[in-house]
Chains A and B, each alone.
Chain A
């Protein structure tokens, strides 16, 4: 089946630093990947849609200059949290859409970000 990986699985950083999270589709190509954020005991919230070779589309209320998304290849999208603050601490999950069949999305295992 289609596998999506994320790296790192968890990261702890100091306030003011930037953190990059990678999302890879391991055995398929994905022109579209999605980034979600999930706070404890809450549902997933879509942050942005990442399109290979073009700019990401951000959901309302998500700061594009703070959450930089790059989708440089058909198997890799990165999310960079710039100048992270404690309120950015969350669980970040990516998904990748398979370019066949019913366009099913497969989710990565998530990245736990803790900003001190």
Chain B
């Protein structure tokens, strides 16, 4: 499974856009990029997943350059409730073996009023 590197923490303010970049230099051809959000004492929650270019849903956008060696999660206009740890994972979610998710350190995002 491809190893990921993320910033340990980021601070932001309400209403700002937060961008978290994840490096995954040895991503494999079949690997997808998935981001999860985790609040304290809760299980992770799926945010977004992508393979290439740009993916957008109701909560976030995911930008993936052509070489796929990195990806950026963008959270628009964050609120205090977006304070959480965000994990970037890469893996082949289609094959059984690749569905074993490996969590890296994550990025602790603190949104201030």
Contact = CB atoms under 8 A, between A and B. Distances in A.
Contacts of A108: 43
Interface stretch (A62-70, A72-80, A95-103): A95-103
Interface residues of B, number: 21
Given A46-B102, A102-B32, A103-B99, A109 B43 contact: yes
| Dominant secondary structure of chain B at its interface with chain A | loop
Given A102-B49, A102-B94, A107 B103 contact: no
Task: List the 8 shortest-distance A-B pairs measured between CB atoms, nearest first.
Answer: A107-B43, A44-B103, A43-B103, A93-B43, A107-B44, A110-B43, A102-B93, A108-B43
A108 B38 CA distance: 11
Contacts, number: 53
Contacts of A46: 100-103
Contacts of A34: 100-101
A32 interface: yes
Nearest to A112: B41
Most chain A CB inside 10 Å of its own CB: which residue of B42, B49, B87: B42
Nearest to B43: A107
A43 B93 CA distance: 20
Interface of A: 4, 6, 32, 34, 36, 43-46, 49, 91, 93, 95, 97, 102-110, 112
Contact of B105 (A4, A43, A102, A104): A43
B102 A110 contact: no
A116 B32 CA distance: 42
A107 B99 CA distance: 13
B41 A110 contact: yes
B104 A43 contact: yes
B45 interface: yes
B100 A49 contact: yes
